Chain A
Amino acid sequence: MNTAQEDINTLTEPKKTISVSGSVALLEGLIAEGTDTIFGYPGGAIMPIYDAIYDYKDKLKHILVRHEQGGTHAGQGYARTSGKVGVVFATSGPGATNLVTGLADAQIDSTPMVCITGQVYAHLLGTDAFQETDVINITTPVTKWNYQITDANEIPAVLAKAFYIARSGRPGPVLIDITKNAQLQMFDFEGYTPCDHVRSYRPKPNVRKEYIEEAAALINKAKKPFILFGQGVSLGFAEQEFKAFVEKSGIPAAWTILGAGAIPTDHPLNVGMLGMHGNYGPNVQTNSCDVLIAIGMRFDDRVTGRLDKYAKQAKVIHLDIDPAEIDKNVKADVPVWGDCKETLPLLTALVEEKKHTEWLAEFRAFDKTEQEVVIQPELNPESGEMTMGEVINQLNILTKGEAIIVTDVGQHQMVACRYAKFNHTRSNITSGGLGTMGFGLPAAIGAKFGAPDRTVVAVIGDGGFQMTLQELGTIMQSGVDVKIMILNNRFLGMVRQWQQLFHEKRYSFVDITSPDFVKLADSYYIAGKRISEREDLVSSLEEMLNHKGSFLLEVMVAQEHNVFPMVPQGSSVSEIRLK
C-alpha cells in the first residue's frame, strides 16, 4: 500500500483526484504555503493531524513547545523575523484557550499567523463534550478571521483563505478549528490552490493620487517636517522605499518600538524612539513640528501621551494600509490610504530634495542634553551596581548591531528598545501593543527558527522569565541556539517604578523572588552563568555569544533603577521628564 505522501506525489496530472484524509490535505496545504516549521502541542481532538504528521517529518519540522501560549509566541517570533506566516497547532478545550494571549498579542501587533485547533466531533458540538470549548467565539475578538471546519472537503480552500487573509493587507492571526471527523474523513483531494482573492475582502485601499499630491505639497512647504514610522514599514516590506523617501526629503524620522530597525539605528536621519520612554527630542519636537508624517503607525496612547495636547500645531499626514486607523486617534489632514510600498515611491517622486539642517540641529541639541542627563550615566556608570543600559551597550559593541534582540516586557524592554543597535530590519522582536510578559523566551525560540543564520539574544526580566520558563524544555529538546540574558533586578521593576513615582513608594507585591536561574538552566542541560560585577560583564557576554548552543546569562543589575526619560501617563509628550 502506498503512503499518503506517495499518493500525493502522483498528483501531477491536472484534475486527477486522490482520496486522502482531511489531516493529510491540511499538511499538504501547509507545505504548499511554504510552511517549514510548526509550533504545537498534541491532544485528543487533534490526534488525526498528529498521526498524519508522523509521516511528514522530513517536510515539516514540528517543534514541541511546553505550553500552547509558548507556541503562539514562538509562531510570532518566527513570523516577525522571517516575514512568513507563523503556524501553530493545538488541541481543543484547554489547548485552544491557551492560545488566546498569543492571538491577542498577534492581533494588536499585526503578526501573520495561522493557528489550527482540533475540535470535538461535529455531532458533539454544543453538547459540552469532553474538551469542547467554543474556540471560535472565544477567539473572535482576537483574530483577523476564524472559521470552523466540519467537513474535510472544506479544508484546502479554507486553509488557502486563511493564509491569504493572515498575510495580506494589514496582517494578523487567523484561527481554523477543525472537528475530529473532518480530520479523519477521506475525501477526493484535487490538489491545493493558493488563494489570492476573497470577494468581500479588500486587503488594501486604492491609492488616491490627489492625496499623494496634497501630502507632497504640504511636505514641500514645511519648515519643520517630522516623520513618525511604525511597523507598517517592515510589514509592507518597504524598508528600501522608506529609506529613499527619508533620504530625499531630508526629514528627521523617529520610530515606535515596533518600527525600530526599519532604517538602521545609526542612520543620520534616525532621531530615535517615540513614546513614554522614548527619546527627548522626538517627544518634544512632536509638539513643535509643522508637518507630522505618520507612516504605518497607529498613534497608540503610549506614543501620544495626552491626545488633546498632541501635535496640535501640526498638519498631519497619515499613511496607512488600514482605513480604520486613519482619524482613529489623531485626525489626519491628509489621509494617504494604501500600502506604503506603493504610496512611498509616489510621494518620494513628488517631494523636493532637501536637507533641513537647522531643524535637524534642534534634534541634536535635545540629544546632547539627553546624553548628558540620562544616556551617558546609564551606559557608562563609573561606580555602583550595573545598569541595564550598560549591559545592552556592551552587547551592542560585541554584536555590532547584527543580532536579533527579543525582549520580554518591563523596564528591561524599554531599555533594550532605547539602546539596542539594529543594522537590519526585522531584528527588534517585542510585544508592543499587548505588553505580554512571558513573550520573550518563546518568541526568541521562534525568532531563531525564522532566522537560523542570525544570532538571537533574548533580553528578559526576572519576573517575565518565570511566566514561560517551561520553554527551556523546548530549547533543550529542539537544540535551538538562543542566548538568554536575564536582567535581574529582584523586582517587577516597571511596576515598582510606577509605585515609586506615582504611589508614594508603596511597593505592593513587586518584590519577586527567583529560583537559581543558572541551576534551572543546568537542569535543562543549558549552559549558564550569573554575574554581578562590572568587570565580568564583557567577558561573560563574549562567553555567551561564543558558546555553541544556547546559553543563559543572568546579570544582577541595580534594584531600584528607573527608566528615563518618561512621559507620565496623562501628560503631554512635551512634558517628558528627564529624571
Chain B
Amino acid sequence: MSNSQDIEINEKQEFTITVYTENQIGLLNRIAIIFSRRKINIDSLNTSPSEIEHIHRFNIVINETEDVVRKLARQIEKQVEVLKVYFNTNEDIIWQEMALYKVPTDTIAELVSVERLLRENGARAVVIRKDYTVFETTGHREETDKLIEVLQPFGLIEFVRSARVAIIKSSDGFNRKLREFERREPGQDVIENEFLDAEKNVFSM
C-alpha cells in the first residue's frame, strides 16, 4: 500500500456532491442513509429537475475530507437509480443560496433608508405590507448571513435560507452525454400512488 497520501486529501472542506438520478420514489432515503449511517451531517440538500426531462439532480453539501467524499460518491453511484455522481470543491462550481427575511414594516421604514439597505446588500423587497415586509437575497453564505446581522436590530421576525444550488463549471461534456442517453432511451414517468387521492374518505390529513 502506498504511503503517499496527500495532506490536502485529509483536510476537511466543503464539497458539493451532484447526483444525477432517475425520478424514483424512495431514492432520497437511499441516498440520505449513505450519509447518516456513517454519522455524516448533510449541511444542505436540494433536489430538482435537471435540464433533461426525466432526469433529476441532487445537490448535497457536506464538510468532509476528499478521501471520504470519494468513497461516499462511489456508494451513491452504486445505487441502481443513480446515473452519475460528481463531487466538487467550491472553486469548481458556481453556487447560490437564497434567503428570505421578514421584518416589521413600521420599524424598518422609520429607522433606515430601505433603498440603501437593499442596494448595499444586493437584496430586494418581495412583499411590502402594512404590518411586515419580506426581503430576499441570493448569494453565498456570507452574503445571506450578513443581512441577518443588518436586520436583527430592526426586529427580524423570520429568516429562512434555501439549500445550495450549484452548477458545475466544466459540465459541457457530461451534458452532451446525458442528452444522448435520454434520446436513445427515454425515461419513464414516475408511478405515484393514485389510490391515495382516489380514496379521500380513507386517507385524510
A binding-site residues for B, Cβ under 8 Å = 121-127, 136-137, 140-141, 144-148, 150-151, 154, 165, 181, 198-201, 310-312, 314-316, 322-324, 326-328, 330-331, 333
Q: Which B49-75 residues have a C-beta within 8 angstroms of A?
A: 70-71, 74-75
Minimum C-beta distance from A133 to chain B (A): 15
Q: Is B113 an interface residue (CB 8 A)?
A: no
Rounded to whole angstroms, the CA-CA distance of A123 and B202 in the bound complex is 7
Other-chain contact of A122, B33, B71, B74, B195 (Cβ < 8 Å) = B195
- Interchain CB contact under 8 A, A127 and B203: yes
The residue in chain B whose Cβ has the minimal distance to the Cβ of A136 is B26
- Interchain CB contact under 8 A, B26 and A125: no
Q: Which B1-16 residues have a C-beta within 8 angstroms of A?
A: 1-3, 5
Known A123-B195, A125-B195: A199·B1 in contact at CB below 8 Å: no
- Interchain CB contact under 8 A, A141 and B80: no
- Interchain CB contact under 8 A, B199 and A123: yes
Chain B contacts of A165 at CB under 8 A?
80
Minimum C-beta distance from B21 to chain A (A): 7
Q: Is B78 an interface residue (CB 8 A)?
A: yes
- Interchain CB contact under 8 A, B185 and A199: yes
- Interchain CB contact under 8 A, B81 and A200: yes
Chain A contacts of B74 at CB under 8 A?
323-324, 326, 328
List 17 other contacts, CB 8 Å, given A137-B29, A198-B80, A200-B81. A121-B195, A123-B199, A136-B26, A140-B30, A144-B80, A145-B80, A150-B191, A199-B185, A200-B21, A200-B83, A201-B80, A311-B1, A314-B1, A316-B1, A323-B77, A323-B78, A331-B2
Rounded to whole angstroms, the CA-CA distance of A146 and B203 in the bound complex is 24
Rounded to whole angstroms, the CA-CA distance of A31 and B86 in the bound complex is 41
Chain A contacts of B203 at CB under 8 A?
123, 125-127
- Interchain CB contact under 8 A, B181 and A199: yes
Chain B contacts of A315 at CB under 8 A?
1-2
Q: Is B136 an interface residue (CB 8 A)?
A: no
Chain B contacts of A330 at CB under 8 A?
1
The 4 A-B pairs of least Cβ separation, nearest first, read: A123-B199, A122-B195, A324-B74, A123-B195
Q: Which B72-112 residues have a C-beta within 8 angstroms of A?
A: 74-75, 77-78, 80-83
Chain A contacts of B187 at CB under 8 A?
199
Interface centre among B3, B181, B191 (most CB of A within 10 A): B191
- Interchain CB contact under 8 A, B78 and A312: no
Q: Is B128 an interface residue (CB 8 A)?
A: no
Q: Is B176 an interface residue (CB 8 A)?
A: no
- Interchain CB contact under 8 A, A181 and B185: no
Chain A contacts of B25 at CB under 8 A?
148
Chain B contacts of A137 at CB under 8 A?
26, 29
Rounded to whole angstroms, the CA-CA distance of A359 and B159 in the bound complex is 69
Rounded to whole angstroms, the CA-CA distance of A323 and B71 in the bound complex is 10
Q: Is B171 an interface residue (CB 8 A)?
A: no
- Interchain CB contact under 8 A, A327 and B71: yes
Q: Is B196 an interface residue (CB 8 A)?
A: yes
Q: Which B131-184 residues have a C-beta within 8 angstroms of A?
A: 181
Chain B contacts of A333 at CB under 8 A?
1-2
Interface centre among B26, B70, B81, B195 (most CB of A within 10 A): B195
Chain B contacts of A151 at CB under 8 A?
191
Chain A contacts of B81 at CB under 8 A?
200-201
